[in-house]
Amino acid sequence: GENVEQHPSTLSVQEGDSAVIKCTYSDSASNYFPWYKQELGKRPQLIIDIRSNVGEKKDQRIAVTLNKTAKHFSLHITETQPEDSAVYFCAASYGNNRLAFGKGNQVVVIP
Amino acid sequence: DTGVSQDPRHKITKRGQNVTFRCDPISEHNRLYWYRQTLGQGPEFLTYFQNEAQLEKSRLLSDRFSAERPKGSFSTLEIQRTEQGDSAMYLCASSSDGNEQFFGPGTRLTVL
């Protein structure tokens, strides 16, 4: 079955430092891995995604890496800013592109 | 606003009542998904439509839940005989034939 796990559950970083969130997934057939950012009371917002045919993708200060063999992928945020504070969800695709989500990571950027 | 919209944004109801939520996807998106999110958890998949066809339902979707997308555009999610355990944020997402799913703002349901 589908199982996506995220860790750590809470991450505090000093402004300007980097943050790394790791996720593992269970189904080797998963081929699409998005990351969503959710601020309090708002909708999940897609920030970056990666497909199984690449190992790394970068978009300005955020990057995602994928290790298919180990079935894990990570979100990297560099030069963190206070507006990066939010809950971040990883997800993995199953079946008809439905997504199984992790429980989320609370990232707190300390000014 | 050309994003996914949902209505209502908040719904408070008494246990045993029926409620219906609406989702309007991004206009050119043929795929529509419903998810449920509770506090401290990620969204959980409920059901999926491609155009007007409901292609998949989660086992989370009990017989009290029904969803429709009659013309392949907007969708409705109805919960009959609501229970306190139904209290959650109900999120709708849409996508084109690619994978990227874009979420609406959600409908927060409170069952008293």
A1 pLDDT more than 70: no
Which of A48, A64, A99 to mutate: most B Cβ within 10 Å?
A: A99
Helix (H, G, I), strand (E, B) or coil at B85: helix
Q: What pLDDT was estimated at residue B1?
A: 52
User: pLDDT of A53-100, one tens digit each?
Assistant: 889 999 999 999 999 999 999 999 999 999 999 999 999 998 867 899
The C-alpha of B83 sits at a distance from chain A's nearest C-alpha, in angstroms, of 23
HSE-CB at B30 with a 13 A cutoff on CA atoms is: 8
In chain B, the DSSP E strands lie at 5-7, 10-13, 19-24, 31-37, 44-50, 53-57, 65-68, 75-79, 88-95, 102-103, 107-111
Across the interface, do B50 and A104 touch by the CB < 8 Å criterion? Answer: no
Cα dihedral sign, B111-B102-A41-A14: positive
Mean pLDDT of B34-51: 94
User: pLDDT of A15-51, one tens digit each?
Assistant: 999 999 999 999 989 999 999 999 999 999 999 999 9
Q: What pLDDT was estimated at residue B48?
A: 93
Interface of A with B in 58-87 (CB under 8 A): none
Across the interface, do A44 and B91 touch by the CB < 8 Å criterion? Answer: yes
Of B45, B95, B103, the CB nearest to A43: B103
Interface of B with A in 22-51 (CB under 8 A): 31, 33, 40-45, 48, 50
Q: What pLDDT was estimated at residue B61?
A: 86
Interface of B with A in 72-111 (CB under 8 A): 91, 95, 99-106
Across the interface, do A46 and B44 touch by the CB < 8 Å criterion? Answer: no
Q: What pLDDT was estimated at residue B7?
A: 97
The C-alpha of B102 sits at a distance from chain A's nearest C-alpha, in angstroms, of 7
Q: What pLDDT was estimated at residue A95?
A: 80
* DSSP conformational letter for B20: E
pLDDT band at B32 (very low <50, low <70, confident <90, very high): very high
The C-alpha of B20 sits at a distance from chain A's nearest C-alpha, in angstroms, of 20
B105 pLDDT more than 80: yes
Interacting residues of B79 by C-beta distance below 8 A, sequence separation 6+: B18, B19, B20, B64, B65, B86, B109
Rounded CA-CA distance B98/B30 in Å is: 10
> pLDDT: is B54 or B99 the higher one?
B54
